[in-house]
A and B are shown apart, each in its own frame.
Chain A
């Protein structure tokens, strides 16, 4: 294995130091440091299970090298799951049964949360474009769309703001 290096990165609002070799993806690095909410799926940018936000932008962590996030901020699903103030997506997904096996859910929430910041009142097409890189093989997406719309409504009424 090539030489490991320490990289400073903010994860879910907390300054952390990760160690990684040059050829390690952010996905593998995060999971090695205990972030099991970041899921490993296709490892080629098709499924979106490994999505995290870098400086607020959703990316596939399987296609990101750990060293390249030095000095940046990374948000995983746990960053949306603040104990005192969970993101409205979480309650909406539970209420509508938008989670079956749950493997795609962390990536879908990461992708949907970014879309809701840009489009507070999304159409079905907005949601489809935002979630086009997230594959769910259980739900058929209908309940996911319903939950995203409900969360958008909660946010528009000022609920769940940080």
Chain B
């Protein structure tokens, strides 16, 4: 039996926001219930988010994607337009937990958990997503790049709820990829996760984003490496140099899943591989012009 707590079941968003002060939001529960059972979490009152209307809605138009705060990882996988609207996020969703966990876990909950191994976060950083936060006193938007402040620490205030996430659809000159290194493809915690976005303009890379998971207290963007690639033609040598810079920016730990050295080496290899793949996939498109 789980330790005792109160459980609020508000019927809509407004009621939810008034119940949040002092309460702990419960969405999929795939972290929260596990933590409660392990006595790592001591929430006295949970606020169930499952009755908020249209909270799982996904809106995708030509340029823009917006997902509701209740959107599950499974919803990302089942939405056929998402493969173009967020290729890296679909890649992460495919290797996220198992089917049942994907059907329960929300993207917003994964973002809020703040785990450096949260698999939706490198893709969302590589897509430069915006997080919409609401409380009973107002609404604000925070870029995901400035959301995390430390291990499992983020900008969400106790009485705020992530009501949605949004980002721009990658254009035809942009490639967006994710790779998760883990013991298995599903049901496994990430050893290293890498998401990259590369935009090509003629023979140059006009924009690059590299997001690294599970190699620092938070998921983060390797901006030194990104700067090396921006406005340059991407040669094998430059890609390797940037991948080494990404490795230098990572600060992993030794744990049961891998050593810090192995993680650093993997950042180098995976970043090099993904940037190369992204760049070459765009070369084909340039040639078609």
Contact = CB atoms under 8 A, between A and B. Distances in A.
Interface of A: 1-2, 21-25, 28, 43-46, 48, 51, 57-60, 62-65, 67-68, 70, 107, 111, 114-115, 118, 128-135
B30 A45 contact: yes
Interface centre among A25, A58, A114, A118 (most CB of B within 10 A): A58
Interface centre among B33, B78, B97, B102 (most CB of A within 10 A): B33
Interface string B19-30: 000000010111
A70 B48 CA distance: 12
Given A45-B101, A133-B100, A22 B185 contact: no
Contacts of B103: 57-59
Interface string B194-228: 00000000000000000000000000000000000
Contact of A111 (B3, B7, B37, B100): B100
Main secondary structure of the interface of A (DSSP, over half): mixed
Contacts of B6: 2, 22
Interface residues of B, number: 34
Contacts of A115: 99
Interface in B64-104: 74, 78, 94, 97-104
Nearest to A62: B33
Given A23-B2, A57-B74, A67 B99 contact: no
Contacts of A132: 97-99, 184-187
A133 B2 contact: no
B157 to A, nearest CB: 25
B99 A23 contact: no
Given A23-B1, A63-B28, A48 B104 contact: no
A130 B97 CA distance: 11
- 10 A-B pairs with the lowest CB-CB distances in the bound complex, closest first: A133-B98, A132-B186, A22-B7, A60-B100, A23-B2, A132-B98, A44-B34, A133-B100, A63-B33, A57-B103
B4 interface: yes
A24 B29 CA distance: 13
A33 to B, nearest CB: 16
B151 interface: no
A102 B199 CA distance: 51
B100 A59 contact: yes
A65 B99 contact: no
Q: Which of A2, A65, A68, A114 has the most CB of B within 10 A?
A: A65
Nearest to A23: B2
Contacts of B4: 1-2, 21-23
A115 B101 CA distance: 14
Given A23-B7, A111-B100, A132-B185, 13 more contacts: A22-B5, A22-B6, A43-B37, A45-B34, A45-B98, A57-B74, A67-B9, A67-B48, A107-B100, A114-B99, A118-B78, A128-B185, A132-B187
